[in-house]
Structures are given as structure tokens and as C-alpha cells.
Structure 1
């Protein structure tokens, strides 16, 4: 027969293990709601693209009916992860994203509930993204002489530059620029080059903000070592990427 103190020790260990299991946090699933609603409101659910189509009608003026913007410097949002779109709308609504055309976006975003944001995101996520054309002009001078212009960006997108601490863009955004819906990394394929270049310049200058500081810090760290030519070339390369 085991001594009483040994049995008590086993019981304590079992109780501790149970308590630990109950208190250990688990990872949020990819379709976890964006937690932006006040406590007195019901949290948003996975978005409804049909409802989102109606709510997104006002977006067509700049972003296009299907999210494939025709205006220069207006981002293409067709095929973007739902969570990414919902998160950005919340940042505009709360004034946490202030750079670029935030002043244009804020009035529209301010009218949306968290569920509206999910629905709008679901509509655009279901659309087929278009693609632009990359600049294949031959570089005739400088350190990248002999390369086509987009190839400078392609090299960084696919391989990064370890000597400067620049990771490959595709590590987060995917080999074809499809983005990642889990951590809400945006899709890049076919994105307007002017818009991409402006965003990279804002990150490099530290003039853009995000509610999730990890996203901002990551992009700021990546962008700070990029030259003007590399930024423009990266922007051109992703503009020419086609969705899989």
C-alpha cells in the first residue's frame, strides 16, 4: 500500500495538470472574428458575401464593383483575405490608420458595424483579382545594370537579402502573392504599383500605423533598408503577379 503522503502528492499533480489544461490558451482559428465590437454588442460572425455585396456598393467608385480598382493609387481589394479587409476598415474607423487616403476612408468606415466589415470583406474576398503588367525595361546603369527592372524586386520577393536582414516577401505573402488569411497578411498579386510603392515608402518613413504593432514593426524593419529603386521594382513585380 502506498503511503498517504504519496497518494496526496499524486492527487495534487493530477489537479494541477487539469487546471493547467483548462487555463492554457489555444491558437485562434483562421476564421476567428475580428475582436473590435464593444462588449455590449454581439461579436461579428464569419462574413456573408451576399450581404456584403450590397454594403460594398459605395466602395465601387474607387475600388471597382468587384474590387479591381481602375484608379491609380486606389488599391485592388479583390481576393483580399476577409479578416484583412475587416481589420483595415476598423483601423480607418477608429483613426488608427491615418496615412495616405485615410481621410477619404474614415467617413465610409465609420458607418460600418463589425459585422458589416466582415460582410464587406467576405464579398471582396470572393472576387477574382485581376493583374497588371510588370516593367521589363532593361536597367543600363548602377548596381543592378543588366537586369530587367522588375527582376530587382523579384529577387527580393523570392529570396530577400540576408546581408541586410530583409526576409523574402513570399514568406508571409505567399509565392504567388496570395496573402495569408490566418494572420491577415494581404494579397499582393496584381496590386497597383503606385499604391504598393507609397505604402512601402510610408513604412520606411515610419508614417503608417497599425493596431497590431507586430505587423507594423515587421514591415517597417523590412522597408527601412530598401532603396528607392528597390521599392519601385518590388511594386512593379507584384503588380505583374497573377493569382493562382
Structure 2
């Protein structure tokens, strides 16, 4: 009986995932309003705005939903998502997830200074390694909605870590990014942002 129940739950879960998937071509058509900030393919030409090309679709959907609900605050995005349906969000996310993020580079000195911290954290200060959620290459984890952070603009990574630290951004699961970033110094954030951006 238990095996049958597990099988039914698994099938229902698969159906729900399948129904929730977006349409890439529909998303491309709908993406015209996103171009000004994020670029035609999701590679933002300005470091004020994130690159969303190649980001996990589930993470993008989550952010759009939270911009709309107000759980993540941004006056520009609040206006952009106000008229989006759930299907619009799925389609847009599918399109941008299908694109390829452009790479960033970092100096060997910064890479050497930040690698150990990114990989293993700082036990003395109670800071876990970033790899626990984002992986050794910064690719994140789709099912857990942990974002891909490699290839992102360093300035954008820095601004988001600072927002988590000051609680201006508070939409991470269980407040974990606020707890971690609260222990980061300005130097930590600068180094991590530059290092993470160039992970491949």
C-alpha cells in the first residue's frame, strides 16, 4: 500500500511540474518589455540589473511571483509584473532560462583570496561555505530554487548581498541569506562578488 501511495504521489508531482512548465517561444514574444533592462537574451548590458540568461526557470518564476506579491520589493519590477499572469511568468522564465549567460573574468589575486572562503566559509565566524547551496561552480540547485550565481555582474552580486545584510531584501528561504550576510564584512562581500561572477 505504501509503495502504491508513493507511486501515485510521484506521478501527481510529475503532472504538476509538467503543467507548470512555460513555453519558450511564447516567452520570447512576451519578453519585449524586459529588453530595456535585461537585454534581448537576458544578458543585461548594465550592471545595475541582473543577467537572467541561463538562470533556473523555477528561481525566475519565484522572483516574479514575489515581486508581484511584494515579498521582494523593487519599484521598477513591481510595475513590470503587475499585469503578468502565472502563465506569463512561466513562459518568460522558460525563455530566459533557455539562453546562455555571458561569462565574467576575475584576477588571479582575487580568485586566490576568495576561493577558500567561498568553498569552506569561515568556521570562526560561523559562516558556511557558499558551495552548500550554490555549488562549487555557482550553478545553484534548480529543485531547491537556489539561484545560479556564476556569470552574474559582480556589482549586482555585491548589491544583493548588501541588501540581504541590511534586510532590504528578505525573500530567501528561512531568512538564511540575511543570517549569512549579516556576518560578512564589506571586504568579504567585495571579494566574494568578484570571485563568484567568474565561476564556470
Q: Is TM-score (shorter-chain normalized) higher than 0.5?
A: yes
The structure carrying a bigger helix percent of its residues is 2
The 1:177–1:104 alpha-carbon spacing in structure 2 relative to 1, beyond 3 Å, is same
User: 1:236 and 2:194 equivalent?
Assistant: yes
In the alignment, is the contact (CA less than 8 A) between 1:152 and 1:230 conserved in 2? no
1:168 aligns with 129
Query: How far did 1:213 drift?
Result: 4.2
Between stretches 152-161 and 221-230, larger displacement belongs to 152-161
Query: How far did 1:71 drift?
Result: 0.5
Of 15, 20, 28 in structure 2, the residue corresponding to residue 45 of structure 1 is 20
- Structure 2 CA distance for aligned equivalents of residues 238 and 31 of structure 1: 35
Of 112, 121, 133 in structure 1, the residue corresponding to residue 84 of structure 2 is 112
TM-score, normalisation: structure 2:
0.88
Query: How far did 1:150 drift?
Result: 3.7
The alignment yields a C-alpha RMSD, in angstroms, of 2.6
1:72 aligned counterpart, secondary structure? coil
How many positions carry a matched residue from both structures? 198
2:69 aligns with 94
1:56 aligned counterpart, secondary structure? helix
User: 1:197 and 2:158 equivalent?
Assistant: yes
Query: How far did 1:149 drift?
Result: 2.8
- Structure 2 CA distance for aligned equivalents of residues 161 and 237 of structure 1: 16
1:55 aligned counterpart, secondary structure? helix
Query: How far did 1:46 drift?
Result: 0.8
2:167 aligns with 206
In the alignment, is the contact (CA less than 8 A) between 2:170 and 2:178 conserved in 1? no
1:218 aligns with 176
Of 116, 132, 136 in structure 1, the residue corresponding to residue 104 of structure 2 is 132
Runs of at least 5 residues in structure 1 that lack an aligned partner in the other structure: 1-17, 34-43, 137-147
- Structure 2 CA distance for aligned equivalents of residues 84 and 234 of structure 1: 21
- Structure 1 CA distance for aligned equivalents of residues 14 and 165 of structure 2: 29
2:120 aligns with 159
After the TM superposition, list the runs of 4 or more consecutive aligned residues in structure 1 that deviate by more than 3 angstroms: 25-33
- Structure 2 CA distance for aligned equivalents of residues 30 and 197 of structure 1: 37
TM-score, normalisation: structure 1:
0.73
In the alignment, is the contact (CA less than 8 A) between 1:30 and 1:181 conserved in 2? no
- Structure 2 CA distance for aligned equivalents of residues 236 and 48 of structure 1: 34
- Structure 1 CA distance for aligned equivalents of residues 188 and 150 of structure 2: 17
1:9 aligns with none
Query: How far did 1:57 drift?
Result: 1.6
The 1:153–1:172 alpha-carbon spacing in structure 2 relative to 1, beyond 3 Å, is same
